[in-house]
Amino acid sequence: MGSYEPVAALLRGLDVLHCLNERGPMAVGQIHDETGIAKPTVVRILETLTYAGYVMMQPGERRYAVTAKVLGLSNGYEAQSHLLSVAGPILERHRQAAGWPIELGIFDADAMVILDTSRAPGYLSVNTKPGSRVPLLRTALGRAYLAALPESELRMVLASLESKPGPDYDAARAPKALLSQLASTRKHGYAMADTESPLTNGRAVACAVVYQGRPVASVNVVVHMSAMPLAAFEREYGHSIKELAAEIGAAI
């Protein structure tokens, strides 16, 4: 915990910027519906972001969109850039063999952030794209990463999630069951998820990408639930997802 209270206005501004970056051009009312921030406050935030050059109003419309300046906010992520450059060719090769979407994600406080995906817009009910945040505890991608953490770090992460509201964090409030699930993940070497989020109709198997003994990302394969039974999916992709994660880790 920091020495000072967080700056509420800055947090609201970041919420608006994240919303525009994630959802695309939006009107004030849409941003209000998505974030819960009062419309007058949304307008002031948008005017400030426009003045700073991060947002622009689309010509002829009352919708706002991010500008190319937001790309500068990620310049510090050299490690992620290296990870992407190394993993990209490997992911593409495995995608051609699998015939199903494969995603690479990294841990970010309370979620996994998608770095690379071959999922088409709207495919498997969720339009994930680079930069999208997916639930940490309700996805194979997230649980594979957590299972690879040292126990002390894992318990710190779960403690930080326990007080967060909403179903995405319910598992942190039942730690005994979650820790048992993560122990099973470690035993098998991969995590499974079966349509656990209300937004998806996909099944996934994921494995942590480990470098120098620590997880740095995780990678998954996702199929539509109608494609094959869960047991058949696990038999077909459980071993290959471990091979993919190990290949990326070795290439780093």
- 103-154 per-position pLDDT tens digit: 999 998 888 988 888 765 555 555 677 788 889 999 999 999 999 998 888 9
Could you identify the residue written with the tokens 């120098």?
212
Does this chain's domain 8-73 share its CATH topology with 78-251?
no
- Smallest CA-to-CA distance from 207 within 242, 175, 232 is with 242
φ/ψ of residue 5, rounded to 5: -70, 145
- Smallest CA-to-CA distance from 204 within 180, 181, 223, 190 is with 223
- In this prediction, residue 1 has a pLDDT band, given cuts at 50, 70 and 90, of very low
Strand, coil or helix: 67: coil
The CATH fold of domain 8-73: Arc Repressor Mutant, subunit A (1.10.10)
Rounded CA-CA distance 56/46 in Å is 8
What is 78-251's CATH number? 3.30.450.40
- 34-86 per-position pLDDT tens digit: 999 999 999 999 999 999 988 988 777 789 988 877 766 766 556 677 888 88
- Smallest CA-to-CA distance from 209 within 114, 97, 87, 116 is with 87
For the chain, domain boundaries: 8-73, 78-251
Rounded CA-CA distance 50/48 in Å is 5
pLDDT of the residue at 191: 96
List of E strands, 36-188: 55-57, 63-66, 102-108, 111-117, 133-135
